[in-house]
Amino acid sequence: MSDSQLRLSFEFFPAKTAEGKEKLIKVRDELNFFNPDFFSVTYGAGGSTRDNTKGLVTKFKADGISTAPHLSFGGDDDDSIKQLIQEYKDAGVDRIVALRGDMPSGVGGGMQLVYANELVAFIRKHFGEHFHLEVAAYPEIHPQAKSYSDDVRYLKGKFDAGANSAITQYFFNPDAYFFFIDQCHKAGITQPIFPGIMPIINYKNLIRFSDACGAEIPRWLRKALENYGDDEASLKAFGVELISELCETLLENDAPGLHFYTMNQTEPTAQIVRNLGLIPVE
């Protein structure tokens, strides 16, 4: 990267088919040109993608690429999670994204959710300081949070349990991030909080994701995106410009780096990173 002070990372979800896995390796190689600090690989509800996640992470690591698995307890017991983490450690993995996660669909209320601070404490108890632990943060507040202050306090609990840094849910209003950081500082949080960035690729998918996770799409942006209709090329061009400007604003105001939700695609993430000048130094 052009600025060694900034952290750059890219997120994938595990491919389900052989063709999808092959494509994902190609995308990884293309994005690896930017020399990211790490890639991360998501973990399905209740660990539903456990094997695919582990397979992808260990493959990347074997190829010499720093990769962090997402991890949650879901419906697993202590021994199963401990064994999985040990397998990651044995494979040379040194970073984990620790999450509360969600129960798989169809699972009743008899299973107890294990919160992210508990997972962080569990990893620290059994593996000491081996792993750099990332946790999730929500500038626009987790949809299940009782209040803004409760959510900030809960994030502090994750750090108090031993987390090193946080990655945010994506957002389109930079002021939401800046206000959140200010409130975190007032709550005594000093660890870095990296903004999560969602490139705009498909309008309908973006609306669906955002409605599901509680990320706000401002009304003006919804209307602007609706205006492009089926003109995907123009929508993507607009999205690249908009997200590039968002990232510039974040970095100009001391965001410590960027974490891209790539949707398993090279573009438009690569173009946004190029626009920011975050390219390897020769």
Residues in the chain, overall count:
282
> Nearest 5°: phi and psi at 210?
-70, -40
Residues in CB range of 150: below 8 A, 6 or more apart:
none
Round to whole Å and give the CA distance between 6 and 169.
19
Round to whole Å and give the CA distance between 226 and 235.
9
Cα dihedral 9, 42, 197, 200 in deg (nearest 10):
120
Contact 76, 110 (CB under 8 A): no
**Token code pair at residue 266:** 């090279």
Round to whole Å and give the CA distance between 215 and 206.
10
Catalytic residue among 11, 129, 241, 267: 11
19 annotated active-site: no
- Measured CA to CA in angstroms, residue 1 lies from 11, 36, 37, 41, 279 at distances of 17, 8, 9, 21, 5
Round to whole Å and give the CA distance between 94 and 82.
15
Round to whole Å and give the CA distance between 177 and 207.
20
Please list the active-site residues.
Answer: 11
